Amino acid sequence: MYNLFFYLYLSFSGVAAIISISMWIDYFRKIDVFEPEKIRNLVLAMLIGCITPFLSLYLYRLIHMAGYDLNGEFYNDLLYTIFAIGANEELSKIVGVLIVFRVFRNKINEPIDYLVYAGVTALGFSIVENFKYFNNYGIQIISTRAFYSALVHIINTTIIVYGFFRLKLFNKGNQYTNTILAFIASASSHGLFDFFLINNFLGPVTPFFATIVYLIGINFWVQMLNNANNYSQNFSYEKIHFSSNIFYRLLFWYLATLIFTIVYNMIVFDPKRALSYFFNSLSSDGLLLVIVILRASRFKIFYRKYFNVNIELPFYFTKNGDEDFKLLYLFPIKIRGESAYEYKLTTYLNKTVQLFPLSENETQIKEPLTVNLCDKILLNDDVIVYKAQHQNQTYYIKPKTNGDTETEQEHPIAGLFTLKVVYNQENEAVLSYKDLNFIEWIYVK
């Protein structure tokens, strides 16, 4: 009976480890939209990454033989997590990345490929680590390992690879400076995340700072992926409509981890405890993980446009009527990047479309406007608008992002604007949402 339980538990641990990385392989396939890598190549890269934890363990042994370890003191633990954990594990994963890049040198032909293969190699490290954690602490930590620990490994390895190839791919910065700063950022980010979980120097609020490091890392990572896709030599606006698809797929994977945990807890414990853990997980991590999933599904798609990779949270307060939700029903919060509604009009770029008034009773448009949707513009305050030309008149169209966003016939609803007369149309780079004059609501057909 004991052997049966042991093998059952081992099987659950194995399946949990596979689930925890399958979502991210699926994710990489979806964001590599212009020329997706073959699954077998990604799986092989991940298997190569599975070797890297053993190099890290060897380095840990050397560090501990030298008498250096955690001891609960602030500065000792801070330096240990940054150098002995962060730098150690990131160097180990980079060895795997170098092997993967050598093996797949003929397959890596887009900027995004460098980041995809780096991320999948980091997953190999994560799956070995996760298997150990599942055996030590139980399957109920699967959501935490999948959405926190696995992603932390992906983010920090990607930072190093992005820094090393930043000059080559985007013609930005200096090779040595880029590489050194990227490694420092990666080791520090990894180390600080672990430090705030290990050293309880601020009491029960200390893990909150780990969450901040994690959220900043998420935003950092998506910005890097965003630039890589914008610079693809296979770039096409026709292929970019994946935001809502990615969101629902990641949401599916998150729910799959919760359901898997319920099944495990019902077998090992009892239904009451299983359901209790399920609802506790939703209440403690649900909002945070929805924010992460939303940010991971949103990009700013502009051909050959480079966005500076900034240290920012993945959300901000907005005053532009484009919020995703209101925190405490008072504070409008916008997740960075383009929502599915904001980029839907991208398929009409450089095409002729018709603009119809949403209300035929209250309209300044006497008949449908036939316009050429000639440009997509990111305003200074992070608002997406589309430039439309009608004879000698220039309009700006801002997609509606909340409430009713489509007509019953699924035509996108948008606000129709003109530029306020005091502003110069030739200097659109400095425009913000307040510089536009609202005319009325329309839908695009």
Q: What is the pLDDT along the chain (445 residues), one digit of tens a residue?
A: 546 555 666 666 667 667 777 888 999 998 998 888 999 999 999 999 999 999 999 999 999 999 999 998 999 999 999 999 999 999 999 999 999 999 999 999 999 999 999 999 999 998 888 766 655 555 555 566 667 788 999 999 999 999 999 999 999 999 999 999 999 999 999 999 999 989 988 888 998 999 999 999 999 999 999 999 999 999 988 777 666 788 888 888 888 877 877 777 777 777 877 788 778 777 777 788 889 999 999 999 899 999 999 999 999 999 888 888 888 888 999 999 998 888 888 888 889 999 999 887 778 887 889 999 999 999 988 899 999 998 888 999 999 988 889 998 889 999 999 988 655 555 666 788 988 999 999 999 8
Residue 366: inside a domain: yes
Residue 223: inside a domain: yes
Residue 36: inside a domain: yes
Q: Return the bridge partners of 436, or none.
A: 419
Q: What pLDDT is attached to residue 9?
A: 60
273 with 349, same domain? no
Find the radius of gyration of the CA atoms of the chain. 24
For tokens 């979980």, what's the residue?
Answer: 197
Q: Give the amino acid at 117.
A: Y
304 with 348, same domain? no
Cα–Cα distances in Å, from 52 out to 45, 97, 169, 197, 326? 12, 9, 26, 23, 43
What element of type H or E holds 188?
helix 175-198
For tokens 């405890």, what's the residue?
Answer: 273
Q: What pLDDT is attached to residue 18?
A: 73
242 with 122, same domain? yes
Decide if 221 contacts 309 (C-beta within 8 A): no
Tokens of 188: 């520090």
CA distance linking residue 377 with residue 340, whole number of Å? 16
Nearest to 369 by CA among 355, 353, 384: 355
CA distance linking residue 301 with residue 227, whole number of Å? 9
CA distance linking residue 152 with residue 129, whole number of Å? 12
114 with 18, same domain? yes
CA distance linking residue 305 with residue 402, whole number of Å? 27
141 with 189, same domain? yes
34 with 130, same domain? yes
66 with 6, same domain? yes
Residue 324: inside a domain: no
Strand order in the sheet with 331-335: 315-317, 331-335, 325-327
Helices (H), 199-303: 206-230, 243-268, 271-296
* Residue after which a domain boundary falls, among 284, 317, 350: 317
Decide if 108 contacts 101 (C-beta within 8 A): yes
CA distance linking residue 399 with residue 382, whole number of Å? 13
Decide if 82 contacts 155 (C-beta within 8 A): no
* Residue after which a domain boundary falls, among 267, 302, 317: 317
306 with 346, same domain? no
137 with 54, same domain? yes
290 with 160, same domain? yes
Q: Give the amino acid at 279.
A: F
- 26: helix, strand or coil: helix
Nearest to 121 by CA among 85, 87, 150: 150
For tokens 């993980």, what's the residue?
Answer: 289
**Positions of E strands within 318-368:** 325-327, 331-335, 351-357
294 with 240, same domain? yes
Residue 334: inside a domain: no
CA distance linking residue 65 with residue 251, whole number of Å? 44
Q: What pLDDT is attached to residue 22?
A: 82
Residue 322: inside a domain: no
Residue 329: inside a domain: no
Domain count, the chain: 2
Nearest to 285 by CA among 166, 430, 145: 145
Tokens of 438: 């609202």
Q: What pLDDT is attached to residue 45?
A: 97
354 with 310, same domain? no
Residue 335: inside a domain: no
> The whole model's pTM is what?
0.91
CA distance linking residue 108 with residue 121, whole number of Å? 14
The DSSP-derived string for 129-172 is: HHHHHHHHH-GGGHHHIIIIIHHHHHHHHHHHHHHHHHHHHH--
Domain of residue 407, residue span: 340-444
